């Protein structure tokens, strides 16, 4: 859990972080967020410089009420009105943004896709998230769920997904999926980073895992490119570290499966802001509101 004091120009003036407590109550998690935010504020010369608090949350957000609806990876916050809680306890206006949408906003503000009208940010982490920038603005959809590119089907009869579907992109391109596919092929690693290291060291099985991952990612992105004709797709998250092991296959699938004009238009690039994309995007989202 990371908090920062962000200036209007995107400067990070102070930072604080802590492990998300496992098995905690929602109120404990909120307490911790508030504590980290207070720590950040305390480091500023003038604590009244803080205009607002903005949170990037791995959740579906009820935009009207500020209630968090669905957090598969942080269930204890389901039903919590994080917007009201943060505003009340920190004494400033509060804003919420979905974490993947926040990352897309951050990259569009100060990162790889800065200034572009139409871009998609794909985060290859524990799961596969996504955020859309359309006509220069974040596109959230009526329920705030737009951008779930991790649940595009790339294998109709494929691996069962936690979402209820089968063969979702997330089952082939997330860190979890990379580790699972490596194990299926006999490489008993604990993390996607291990698989990446093995591929870098010339292990053919590990390389094969990333070829399969890249093929699935390319199939998913090719569909997005045909539907949205974006100028850029920005890829971030931990698995992006394996870039050289999958990007050629991603591009090959896109060139094969997408129409020529949008395939030639789209730049597929690595995210530039790392873990700060979400923090910066949430701040930008609050500033623009």
Residues engaged in binding a copy of itself (CB under 8 A):
60, 69-70, 117-118, 130, 132, 134-135, 139-149, 151-156, 163-166, 168, 215, 219, 222-224, 226-231, 256-259, 261-262, 265
What is the signed CA dihedral for 232, 285, 19, 17, rounded to 10 degrees? 110
End-to-end, the C-alpha distance of the chain in Å comes to 24
Closest distance to a copy of itself from the beta carbon of 41 (Å):
34
Closest distance to a copy of itself from the beta carbon of 219 (Å):
5
In the bound state with a copy of itself, the residue whose beta carbon lies nearer, of 51 and 137, is 137
CA distances (Å), origin 25, targets 20, 38, 66, 99: 11, 20, 19, 21
In the bound state with a copy of itself, the residue whose beta carbon lies nearer, of 159 and 228, is 228
| Alpha carbons 94 and 66: distance in angstroms, whole number | 9
In the bound state with a copy of itself, the residue whose beta carbon lies nearer, of 40 and 100, is 100
In the bound state with a copy of itself, the residue whose beta carbon lies nearer, of 48 and 135, is 135
Burial bucket for residue 79 (CB in 10 Å: 0-12, 13-18, 19+): exposed
Closest distance to a copy of itself from the beta carbon of 158 (Å):
9
| Alpha carbons 182 and 193: distance in angstroms, whole number | 11
In the bound state with a copy of itself, the residue whose beta carbon lies nearer, of 111 and 262, is 262
Q: In whole angstroms, what separates CA 213 from the centre of its chain?
A: 18
Closest distance to a copy of itself from the beta carbon of 262 (Å):
5
Closest distance to a copy of itself from the beta carbon of 260 (Å):
8
Closest distance to a copy of itself from the beta carbon of 154 (Å):
7
In the bound state with a copy of itself, the residue whose beta carbon lies nearer, of 53 and 233, is 233
Name which of 144, 100, 57 is nearest 234 in CA terms.
100
Structure tokens at 57: 């949350």
Closest distance to a copy of itself from the beta carbon of 117 (Å):
7
Name which of 174, 136, 176 is nearest 152 in CA terms.
174
- Strand-pairing partners, residue 215, are none
In the bound state with a copy of itself, the residue whose beta carbon lies nearer, of 2 and 265, is 265
DSSP H or E run through 233: strand 232-236
Any idea what DSSP says for residue 151? G
């Amino acid at each position: 859990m990371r908090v920062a004091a962000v200036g209007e120009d995107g400067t990070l003036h102070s930072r604080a972080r802590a492990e998300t407590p496992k098995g905690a109550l929602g109120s404990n998690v909120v307490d911790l967020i508030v504590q980290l935010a207070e720590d950040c504020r305390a480091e500023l010369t003038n604590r009244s410089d803080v205009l607002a608090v903005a949170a990037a949350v791995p959740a579906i957000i009820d935009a009207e009420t500020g209630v968090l609806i669905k957090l598969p990876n942080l269930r204890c916050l389901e039903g919590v009105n994080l917007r009201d809680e943060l505003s009340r306890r920190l004494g400033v206006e509060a804003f919420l943004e979905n974490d993947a949408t926040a990352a897309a906003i951050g990259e569009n503000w100060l990162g790889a896709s800065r200034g572009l009208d139409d871009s998609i940010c794909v985060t290859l982490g524990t799961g596969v998230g996504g955020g859309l920038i359309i006509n220069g603005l974040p596109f959230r959809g009526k329920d705030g769920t737009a951008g779930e590119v991790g649940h595009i089907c790339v294998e109709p009869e494929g691996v069962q997904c936690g979402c209820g579907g089968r063969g979702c992109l997330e089952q082939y391109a997330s860190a979890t999926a990379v580790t699972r596919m490596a194990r299926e092929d006999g490489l008993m690693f604990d993390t996607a980073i291990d698989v990446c290291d093995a591929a870098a060291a010339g292990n053919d099985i590990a390389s094969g895992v990333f070829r399969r991952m890249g093929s699935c990612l390319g199939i998913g992105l090719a569909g997005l490119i045909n539907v949205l004709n974006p100028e850029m797709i920005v890829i971030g998250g931990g698995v992006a570290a394996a870039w050289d092991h999958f990007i050629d296959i991603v591009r090959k699938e896109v060139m094969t499966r997408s129409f020529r004009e949008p395939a030639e238009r789209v730049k597929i690039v690595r995210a530039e802001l790392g873990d700060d994309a979400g923090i910066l995007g949430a701040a930008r989202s609050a500033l623009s509101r």
